[in-house]
Chains A and B, each alone.
Chain A
Amino acid sequence: EAQVTQNPRYLITVTGKKLTVTCSQNMNHEYMSWYRQDPGLGLRQIYYSMNVEVTDKGDVPEGYKVSRKEKRNFPLILESPSPNQTSLYFCASKFLSLGTSGGVQETQYFGPGTRLLVL
């Protein structure tokens, strides 16, 4: 079954205590990304990775790190979490294929989400 998994699903932590949220996909997708979702702000992209060892900042990268040492895993690292990073986090992977008109057809798969509370 094609899926994106995240762990943990729920996490309560304190300010400054480093944490890692893991993300894994079994579809051999090159592209993976992390989003955070906050009320009234929708999904905002934190970081994305086009391929192994290739990562780049999204819209809200401050306070986050990522790594992509292998294709299936894309962990999100908060070195020193702060209360403003309390949010719902989603990992996603997608497959790009070229359509006949020259455009790109994307199928994006999201993980179940990780709800993080930083006290």
Chain B
Amino acid sequence: SQQGEEDPQALSIQEGENATMNCSYKTSINNLQWYRQNSGRGLVHLILIRSNEREKHSGRLRVTLDTSKKSSSLLITASRAADTASYFCATEPSGNTPLVFGKGTRLSVIA
């Protein structure tokens, strides 16, 4: 079964609002990564958080990781219409195994 599961599956917000997406996983990980994918395009890496980190920031992005709950959240602040995309979390399980992606959250930011 898939390692990462995003929640919600779809999210629609107004421009300027914050968007929060959650990800849960099942096994031990080396790190967790968030990606964005615009329709018809490849994956774009957003941020990586290691298993020994609890919070990380990158511009308008804030990621948290709770390894005790095996969950992560991605917060996009002051959203823009250009943030409209699908967002995926991906885990790198321990043991140098390949990344495993969740099904994604489809975010729509309405101007």
Taking Cβ atoms with an 8 Å cutoff, the residues of A that contact B are: 30-31, 50-51, 54, 56, 95-98, 102-104
Interchain CB contact under 8 A, A104 and B99: yes
Tally of chain B residues near chain A (CB < 8 A): 18
Q: Contact partner of B101 among A54, A56, A104, CB < 8 A? A: A104
Interchain CB contact under 8 A, A102 and B101: yes
The contact string, 1 if C-beta is below 8 Å from chain A, for chain B 1-22, is: 0100000000000000000000
Q: A28 — nearest CB in chain B belongs to which residue?
A: B42
7 CB-based A-B contacts, threshold 8 Å: A31-B45, A51-B44, A56-B48, A95-B42, A96-B42, A102-B2, A104-B99
Chain A residues contacting B2 (CB-CB under 8 Å) are 102
A102-B2, A104-B90 known; A50-B45 Cβ under 8 A: yes
Interchain CB contact under 8 A, B100 and A102: yes
Chain B residues contacting A104 (CB-CB under 8 Å) are 43, 90, 98-99, 101
Interchain CB contact under 8 A, B42 and A30: yes
Taking Cβ atoms with an 8 Å cutoff, the residues of B that contact A are: 2, 33, 35, 37, 42-46, 48, 88, 90, 98-103
Q: B43 — nearest CB in chain A belongs to which residue?
A: A96
Complex alpha-carbon distance, A61 and B7, angstroms: 36
Q: Given contacts A50-B33, A50-B48, A104-B43, list 10 more A-B pairs with CB under 8 A.
A: A30-B45, A51-B45, A98-B37, A102-B2, A102-B100, A102-B102, A102-B103, A103-B98, A103-B100, A104-B98
| Closest chain A CB from B58 CB (angstroms) | 8
Chain B residues contacting A97 (CB-CB under 8 Å) are 42-43
Complex alpha-carbon distance, A103 and B92, angstroms: 12
Q: Contact partner of B43 among A54, A98, A102, CB < 8 A? A: A98
| Closest chain A CB from B107 CB (angstroms) | 16
Complex alpha-carbon distance, A54 and B100, angstroms: 21
Chain A residues contacting B100 (CB-CB under 8 Å) are 102-103
Complex alpha-carbon distance, A95 and B44, angstroms: 9
Chain B residues contacting A103 (CB-CB under 8 Å) are 98, 100-101
Chain A residues contacting B103 (CB-CB under 8 Å) are 102
